[in-house]
A = this chain, B = another copy of it.
Amino acid sequence: MSETHAIDSLSQRLADSGLRATPQREVVYNVLLKKRDHPTADEVFARVKTELPTISLATVYNCLETLVQCNLVRAVNFERSPTRYCPNLQPHAHFHDEQTGRTFDIDLPPEVLNQVNTVLPHGFDASSVEITFRGKASSSPS
């Protein structure tokens, strides 16, 4: 996928959501496409500034959020909300209810855990896995 192509799809996506394709948004998106090392907002800010020296950090945050909303970018460590603690040491996943903010433990059968571990290529040695669902919990146990 050429960069220009990608930018076209950016304009398209933005337009679909009734948003404008601005230079800032384009440069932010390009920066993400060019070096796919999961940069932080600060790192994006630094890279974008070489092309748009007057851009502000707030704009970078705005653009990133816009791109996430348009489904062009994923935020990897969501949850700027505080770290949560749980004493359940059995292998389990978490379900985060987006409406209530509550977090539920979801039992994780060994065979599922095993299969998940098979996706790691040679050379990746995982000491832990975290599986987090997000969505709506309709019937809510305790």
Residues of A within 8 A of B (CB): 29, 32-33, 36-42, 44, 64, 67-68, 71-89, 93-95, 98, 102-109, 112, 115-116, 118-140
Asked if A79 contacts B82 (CB within 8 A), the reply is no
- Which B residues are in CB contact (< 8 Å) with A33? 87
- From A38, A78, A127, residue with most partner B Cβ within 10 Å: A38
The 6 closest A-B pairs by CB, nearest first: A123-B139, A126-B135, A40-B82, A126-B133, A38-B84, A76-B84
Asked if A73 contacts B87 (CB within 8 A), the reply is yes
Asked if A76 contacts B87 (CB within 8 A), the reply is no
> What are 11 inter-chain pairs, A to B, with CB distance below 8 A?
A37-B103, A38-B86, A67-B87, A74-B89, A75-B83, A78-B130, A95-B120, A106-B120, A124-B138, A125-B135, A129-B132
